[in-house]
Amino acid sequence: MSTTAGLRADGVTVRFGTKPSGGRTAADRAAVDRVSFSVDEGEIVAILGPSGCGKSTLLRVIAGLEQASSGTVSWNGEDLQNRPPESRGFGLMFQDHALFPHRNVADNVAFGLKMQGLAAADRERRVHTMLGLVDLAGYDDRRIDTLSGGEAQRVALARALAPSPQLLMLDEPLGSLDRALRDRLAIEIRTVLKSLGQAAVHVTHDQDEAFTVADRVLIMREGKVVADGPPEELWNNPVSKFAAQFLGHPNVVDGEQFGGPVGPAILRTNGLRQLAATEPGALTGTVIEQFFRGDHYKVRFRLDTGIELEALSLAHNELGSQVFFRLAPDAVSPLLRE
């Protein structure tokens, strides 16, 4: 973790239900519980977790919109506790765009620049630059209500980036879009942010989105950070049963039952190769579900022991039929904790 450059959160805790006198009510709980992490300059960090895990509350603390019960947030070593949101130099982008419907595209993008007191000619140049960056060149005079969902999100991104924020914070920015558009815009957001060297915190409940956008991903559960690392590292070595299941590993098993160490483990779907017929040591099961996935099938089968597993198959398998899989030597990876 960085010590001074960029953003640093140290022991941030947010409690709801605390009495003004300092006593606690029955509803008192830690929405964010002693969270510490950093974002280096130019780094994109995604905060990933289910609804209610505290990720948006943490973002609001960083923005200055929520007061932490304890802990500190700093930028380049400066404590931000007494800095109001408007003086932190951070940008915000939300799921609902929050665009001004009575202003055209150019005026929306220029809003933060006017607040900075930038001269009109400089504002116009900056607006044109930002619209070109998000592939909306020529949209200056378009009305907001004529834009598609994807275009509106690009305008919101251009507006958030136009004032050159020290840190950009994105709160579920793609949550209202359909899957195909979400996937495309996730790539575009990363491309734009990396081209600018923009530090960013991206909050989402969607693992694919987090892995596409971020250099590093934090997984939150019940107010705590339970995993932190680059996307590939997190996927290959999730530290806990919760992290593995949340990231989409379907086969969380007792490692000892499949030739691995005692304790929880993941059995990778790409470590199961389907066989045409049984052979010594093969896993034999009955197909209970099958879903077509374009270039492969996702097959769920039940072993004689009652354990259900998921594997990928190039062949169609009838429900109720027997299937045989060979387990690769490195298919089972231990988890550090439940």
Which residue in the block uniquely carries the two structure tokens 């009955």?
A: 286
- Degrees to nearest 5, angle at CA 48 with 42 and 49: 160
The pair phi, psi for residue 203, each rounded to 5°, is: -95, 130
Give the per-residue pLDDT at 4: 61
Residues of the chain with pLDDT under 50: 1-3, 20, 26
* Both structure tokens of 280: 């010594």
Which is it for strands 199-204 and 167-171: parallel, antiparallel or unpaired? Answer: parallel
Give the per-residue pLDDT at 1: 43
Give the per-residue pLDDT at 26: 44
Helix or strand or coil: residue 151?
Answer: helix
What does the buried/exposed string (b/e) look like for 120-156 if buried means 16 or more CB atoms within 10 Å of the residue's CB?
eeebeebbeebbebbebeebbebebeebeebbbbbbb
Which residue in the block uniquely carries the two structure tokens 């060149």?
A: 137
- Degrees to nearest 5, angle at CA 46 with 40 and 52: 130
Q: Are 298 and 270 in contact (CB under 8 A)?
A: no
The pTM for the full model equals 0.88
Model confidence pLDDT, tens digit, residues 26-67 = 456 799 999 999 999 999 999 999 999 999 999 999 999 999
How many residues does the structure list for the chain? 338
Q: Residue 300: name the closest of 281, 279, 285, 315 by CA.
A: 285
Give the per-residue pLDDT at 2: 42
Give the per-residue pLDDT at 336: 73
Give the per-residue pLDDT at 126: 96
Model confidence pLDDT, tens digit, residues 225-265 = 999 999 999 998 898 999 999 998 999 999 888 888 788 89
**CA 224 to CA 211: how far, in whole Å?**
20
Mean pLDDT for all residues in the chain: 91
Helix or strand or coil: residue 246?
Answer: helix
**CA 23 to CA 28: how far, in whole Å?**
9
Q: Give the DSSP per-residue string, 272-331.
A: EEEESS--TT-EEEEEEEEEE-SSSEEEEEEETTS-EEEEEESS---TT-EEEEEEPTT-
Q: Residue 60: name the closest of 219, 170, 186 by CA.
A: 170
CATH number of the structural domain 270-334? 2.40.50.100
- Degrees to nearest 5, angle at CA 202 with 47 and 156: 155
Give the per-residue pLDDT at 307: 94
Write down the CATH superfamily of domain 1-89+166-248: P-loop containing nucleotide triphosphate hydrolases (3.40.50.300)
Question: Which helix (H) or strand (E) is 229 found in, with range?
Answer: strand 224-229
Give the per-residue pLDDT at 246: 92
Q: Residue 333: name the closest of 251, 223, 242, 210 by CA.
A: 251
